[in-house]
Structure 1
Amino acid sequence: MMYGDGGWGWGWWMMGGGVLLLLLVLVAAVVAIVVAGRPPRETRTTSGTPPVQGQAPGPSDEALQELDLRFARGEVDEDGYRRTRALLTHPPAS
């Protein structure tokens, strides 16, 4: 015996909305867990070493790798390579 709408009434819409709501809650929970597990922005560095109090963080490994690649490709001469590497690893005091 069918009542009114042939079985395609509010039940299907409510079930679909419930599944969508459940998925949204699960995604929000995963995002919250990932964000809570990350260190604060002040302590994140690109070189993997924590910054020393009162001192600028060191060069990123990516910058040194890029410099090495440019030197290997011949885009930077030896003097420019040495100067730039020295600046990246030992910045001048300001």
Structure 2
Amino acid sequence: MKTGFVFIAAVSTESALSLLKETVMKLDVHKMTDAPIWSIEHFLNEVQPEFTANSWVQLQDLPSDYSHDEALLLCQLSHDEWVAWVPQHGEVILHAHQFCALH
């Protein structure tokens, strides 16, 4: 095992890059595309419920001391961001970790 390590350490950067290019060229692309593709979107949908525009949610953190603890979702900006309206505060951008479904 030590000799392999010494060999790798002794290889120049150009030789290592050349070896890496040769290895990549030998990969069978068809075998790689048959593998299932993991998606973060699927994971997020399993972990959090789907929220829709015009639905009320419970806030985890209040935007101000005087605002309500619920918000109305107006529109989705990204997979984890929403534009929402909070009574006694106004419009805010909420991240998914800042709210949950109403109890």
Instruction: Give the TM-score taking structure 2 as reference length.
Output: 0.24
Kindly indicate whether structure 1 or structure 2 has the higher relative contact order, using CA contacts under 8 Å at least 6 residues apart: 2
Larger radius of gyration: 1
Which one has the bigger helix percentage?
1
Instruction: Give the TM-score taking structure 1 as reference length.
Output: 0.25
